[in-house]
Each structure stands twice: as C-alpha cells, then as structure tokens.
Structure 1
Amino acid sequence: MTDIDALVTGGTGFIGRWLLPELTAEGQRTAVLLRGSGNRLRELRSWVDAHGGRGDLVLGLSGDLAAPGLGLDAEDLAVARTARRMFHLGAAMSYGLAPEIAEEVNVQGSERVTALAASSPCLERLVLASGFQHRRSGRLSTNRYHDSKLDADARVRLLTQAQGIPLTTVHPGPTVGDSRTGETTQFWGWPDLVHALHRGRLPLVPGGRDHWFPLVAVDFLARFISRAPHLADTAGGQYWLLHADTPPLADLLAAVAGDLGVRAPRVHVPVPLAALGLRAGLSRWTGLPAEALVFVSNDRFPVADAQRIASALDLTEPDPIDLACTTARFLVAHDFQAPTPIHRP
C-alpha cells in the first residue's frame, strides 16, 4: 500500500489544478479522487509537470463524491486514510444546477469527505473550500451552486466540531486566472462579464457605484490553501480570501475595457433590475446569465485574518486591476475556451 501526504477532491477542477503543483513541488505525495478513465490521470500529471509541479507524485483514486463511501474500493480507501492533510475542493459547479445534484454532490459529498477524515488516523488537517457570500439578496435568481457550498460549510463545521477534526475553512471570492499569465480553466463568473464587455454587449454596469466583483487570483489562492495547514493557529480558522482593494465594478470594467480597446459601460442599474432583465431575455443577447450577478455585491468581508496569515506565509497579493486585465487578455486570446490539454505520451 502507498502512503500519501495529501488527498485532494476536485483535483481536476480549476482551483485543484493550481493546488497540485504547489503540493507536489514540496515533495508531497498527493492522491486525487477521480471519476473516469486513466486518461484523466495522465492528462492531469502532464498538466502538473507543465505548471511547476511533479506529476509523478500524483496518484489517482477511483471514486465519486456522490457515491456511498466516496465510491472507494478497499485498497484505495486504505490509501486515502493515510493522508496527513485532506483538501476538499470538489463540487458540482454550473449555472442552473439541479437541486438534487447540489445536495447529493456538494452537501452530502462534503459529509462523506468529513467521515473519511474522521476515520483517518494520521490526519492533521482538513481544509474546506467554501463560499464567500453569506449574505445576498433573495431577489436574485437562485445560485444553487453557491447556496449548496454554504450548506456544506455549515454541516462540515458541525461534524468536525463534534468529532474533533482540525478544520481550516477558506472562503474564496470569485476566482480568476493566474496573476502571472491570466491562464484559467474556468469560463463562468468573471469571464461572463468580460465576454459580454468584449463583444460590446454590456451596455450597463450591474449595481451602484459601491458594488464590486471581489477577485482572487487562482495561484495566490492555491498557495494559501497549500501552505495554511503548516501553521498551527490556522486550525479552526475561517479565511475570506479575496483581494480587498479590488475597485468598484464600474472602475474594474473601465480598466479592462481600456486594456482591450472596447467601450466601457457607464450607466448603473440596480442588481435586482439587471437580473430581472436578463431573466426576461436579455441574457440571450448579452450572453450573461442572471446567476452571474450573484457575485456582484456591495457587502464587505472580514479579510483581516486571511491577510495576517498570507503575510505570515510571505504571500503577496497581486494588483487587482492588473489581475483583471491579465485574465481578460488570456480569455480573449483563447476565444473564451479552454486551451487544448497537454497529454503525456
């Protein structure tokens, strides 16, 4: 049996792909819960190699968040239980997510990961990626993905407290591309706004002058998630991870529009009214789903603890305007589609 240092759910997803190079570059043997064929593992190892990690340290465990016992057979379960750290990033994520899938995968799947953590004798830390917006207007269209992440957060917190599992919770803001290259594998959320802007189909700014779309760079987020468990005082901590100096949405869109050479919207419209218009049919013209507006907010978030930990870990936040423009340039260069994956021969 192979002992591992870390277990990651959602390793083929957006944040997970940036987390794996961080973990394996430190020499951590990392198992990833995978659905599907061995081709996914080969592609993932190649991706990790190409992004500064060690693909040879990535192990695939056949499983499924929606299955009892995570779908692990006896051998893979034994391997999973040797992990010293577990990173739960996996979730079903899409607009229009069916409520039964949101419950089965995102909520119950999180409970199954917590049960695995409770049965793992070597476990030092469970890290949960949750949602950043605990308050939002009920007048917006339901975003079942985000709501289910918050439900999972509450259930995991209760279970870990009852069973004495050391938990670190990270609440990422809307996650965008790599701060150095703009690279992303996620094409919803911020990319929806950039796409509409680039096509000249974002005539209005959703929200008032104090509304914003708080960004976080995926590479910064991955480094924080990978390193935070090394600090003893992060056990039991909750960290809202977003770049707090992100400017208001109108200013952010103006900066991106200037960088791309397109016209920026200037007229503001209340978020509920914008959502209503999109649901009424404007989404077909703009290409912007009403659910994307859930990330537009005038709330402010308790980021001081995350900033303190980031400083202790010697992490520097990127400039949010540079980040937004860098990500937008990557999206445009790749026509808002994922680049062809690299395959290991």
Structure 2
Amino acid sequence: MATRRRRVSVFLTGFPGFLGSALVDRLLDRTDRVDCLVQSAHRDEAERRAAEIAGTDWADRIRLHEGDLTDARVGLADDRYERLADDADEVFHLAAVYDLGVERELARRVNVEGTERVLDFTERADARLQYVSTCYVSGRYGGVFDEAMLREGQSFTNHYEETKYLAEVAVRDRMADGLAATVYRPAITVGDSRTGETQKYDGPYYLIRFLLRQPRLAVFPRLRGATTTELNVVPRDYVVDAIDALSRTDRAVGTTYNLCDPHPPTVADVRSILAAATDRRVLSVPTSQSLLTRVLSVERVRRWTGVDPAVVPYFTHPTRYVCPNARRDLAGTGVSPPAFGAYARTLVEYVRDHPDVPSDAMV
C-alpha cells in the first residue's frame, strides 16, 4: 500500500478526547505539527495531555487553537482560519457529542452542523478528510450492515445515532462531489486492551460496575434474544491502530471502514465473560426491555445499579456488522481487533483501580 507524503500540518478536532489524544501521539511521527481545535473549557486538559505526549516543548509540535464547532468558521478568527487552511494537508474530524441521552438540538449543532463546518474547512484547505463516524449510523437496521450501506430507511434509538447518521450523509454527499475522504465507523469502543485506560465509563462499563457492586452471587437481567443478539465491542488501541494505518495510504481514499469485531460475542457471551472477569457467579433473571427500562429509570434504582436506561436497547440491537473493507486493507499490517474475552479482565481491573472515572460525555 502506498504511503502518503510527509505533511506540513494536520488539523484535528476532538482533542483532548478519548480517541483524539491517542491519535495525536501517532500523527507526530509523520507531520511537522498537529493543529488541534480545542474548546476553551478543555484548554487546561488539552495542555496537560499535550505535555504528556510531546514533553515540555509540546507547543512546537502540538498547536492548540481555541474554537467551537457550533460557531461560524469553527469559532476561529478569519486570519487564523485562513492560515490554518493554507497549511493543512489533512483534516481529522473526531469531535462529536457521544452521549446516548443527548438532547436533539445539541446533537444537531455539534454532530451535524459542526461536521458541515469541518467539511467547509477541508474544502477550503484542499485537504484530505479522515472522518470518524460510528457503526451505529445503522440505527436499528434489522440484519447485516456492511460498509457500503448508509441510507437504508432505518429508525434510530436516540439523537446520537440519528445525528451521526446525518453527519455521515453530509460527508458522503461531499465525497460524491469530489472530496477526498475516508470514513471510519468504530463499534462500541472501550479502553485500551493492554492497560485498560479509558476516559469514560459507559456501554459495557455499566455492566462491569453493576457486577462489582454485588456480592459473589450476582443478579443479572436476561432479555429475550440474549443468545443471538451481538454486542460488538472493540478496544481503543485497535481503533487508533486502524485509523493510523489506513490513513497513511492512498487506497483508503473514498472508502468506508467498519472498525468492528468480525466475530463478536453475543449478549449472553458478554454476561459470562464479565462474570468470570469480576469473579462473580450470575443468577439470570428473565425480564422484558420495557420493564427493565422502567425500573432503571427510577432514580433510586439507577443510583444503586449505576446503569443508564439508555443502554438497554443495545441488549436487543438487531444489527450485525461486517467489515470486509477493513479486513482487506489491514491484512498484513498486524492490526486486528482482539477478542473481547482476551482483555475483559484488564478492563475490570482498571475499573477496580480507578473508580472515579466519569460517565459523562465531554461537551
């Protein structure tokens, strides 16, 4: 696979977020500098992470530009916007509101309108776009969802899914008009498979913390279809490794990649894997999705379990994800997703050692 030339500058959104922080570290070995769009509220955290990545002289390699995706010209002054566009050879757009309970207006402004503004910047820069979407643009599509699919008449579980879908539609439309871009769709992304490190406890972490709060014999709800419904989970290091490897090649231009587990566990498998990783015996209690959602919506129950009712629909998610493009173009790179069972205990140990990691989205 051909490797792209060394760049003057990469423009990146989503720093100091979960994926953005790890990706900046990779980008520094192939570009003169990385220009990061950072919200003012996260400036201090961005400086701390930049120093961790690049040392005390980080400002020579990582430039922080305070702005906002919801503002015109992503919140940058005209002269800075033009200067950055003149320098940028590549744009990585990772910033989004990842919150299953996000209000529609906020999700629309950040995920949809923000993406449109990044697309405008990319076209002004005549740059290549690396866009991070999500497998869940599928909504609740019933069946196999491959990398060519997008507009399938699907319904959506929440405003996060819907607005990420609309954002990818906007990206695909610009690609049809000639924009050089690559789309990456991670599945449910958890911490590093080697260290467990993460910035947010959501998704499978709700199950981990629920089990850890219980005695050795733990109660666990069982929904219909648990033995057939897949829960597609990948660790952060796989997602970052894949984006890093694919974004270096010309072959990836115009391509969409489902960054998912080609052999995912079922919900029942995840329950068994996490029971073993938390050293719990599980007593499965049959229930319905509607009843479980109602019970978890009671504030007292939600505080005790630590489980957000917004995750319940994913235990009956009707979609299966396949990734032929990713498997083809990552062949020979050594990059592939490890099985969930191979690193589940690492995730659990990180939760034990770091109980105060938040579940709130970075907004």
User: 1:83 aligned to 2:88?
Assistant: yes
Distance 1:137 1:203, change over 3 A: farther
Inter-partner Cα distance in structure 2 for 1:290 and 1:141: 16
Inter-partner Cα distance in structure 2 for 1:262 and 1:178: 23
2:230–2:320 CA contact under 8 A, matched in 1: no
Aligned residue among 179, 184, 197 for 2:211: 197
Inter-partner Cα distance in structure 1 for 2:176 and 2:156: 33
Structure 1 unaligned segments of length 5 or more: list them. Answer: 339-345
Name the one with the larger strand percent: 2
Q: How many residues align?
A: 329
Write out per-residue CA displacement over residues 140-171 of structure 1, whole angstroms, 9 at most, x where no aligned residue. 99422222111111122113322x11111111
User: 1:308 aligned to 2:310?
Assistant: no
Q: How far apart are residue 310 of structure 1 and its match?
A: 2.0
Q: How far apart are residue 39 of structure 1 and its match?
A: 2.6
- Corresponding residue for 2:168? 153
Q: How far apart are residue 335 of structure 1 and its match?
A: 0.8
Q: How far apart are residue 317 of structure 1 and its match?
A: 2.4
Write out per-residue CA displacement over residues 11-36 of structure 1, whole angstroms, 9 at most, x where no aligned residue. 21111111111111445521110111
Inter-partner Cα distance in structure 2 for 1:117 and 1:250: 43
Distance 1:326 1:26, change over 3 A: farther
Matched AA of 2:181: L
Q: How far apart are residue 111 of structure 1 and its match?
A: 0.4
2:36–2:65 CA contact under 8 A, matched in 1: yes
Aligned residue among 106, 109, 121 for 1:116: 121
User: 1:278 aligned to 2:292?
Assistant: no
Classify the secondary structure of the residue corresponding to 2:262.
coil
Classify the secondary structure of the residue corresponding to 1:232.
coil
User: 1:45 aligned to 2:50?
Assistant: yes
Classify the secondary structure of the residue corresponding to 1:78.
helix
Structure 2 unaligned segments of length 5 or more: list them. Answer: 1-6, 143-154, 359-363
Inter-partner Cα distance in structure 1 for 2:26 and 2:160: 26
Q: How far apart are residue 230 of structure 1 and its match?
A: 2.1
Over the aligned positions, Cα root-mean-square deviation in angstroms equals 2.6
Write out per-residue CA displacement over residues 213-262 of structure 1, whole angstroms, 9 at most, x where no aligned residue. 21111011012112212222211111111122232122222222222222
2:139–2:157 CA contact under 8 A, matched in 1: no
Classify the secondary structure of the residue corresponding to 1:266.
strand
Inter-partner Cα distance in structure 2 for 1:20 and 1:180: 19
Inter-partner Cα distance in structure 2 for 1:4 and 1:36: 25
Distance 1:28 1:255, change over 3 A: farther
Classify the secondary structure of the residue corresponding to 1:175.
strand
Q: How far apart are residue 101 of structure 1 and its match?
A: 0.6
Identity among equivalent pairs (%):
26
Write out per-residue CA displacement over residues 309-343 of structure 1, whole angstroms, 9 at most, x where no aligned residue. 222433132232122221121112101516xxxxx
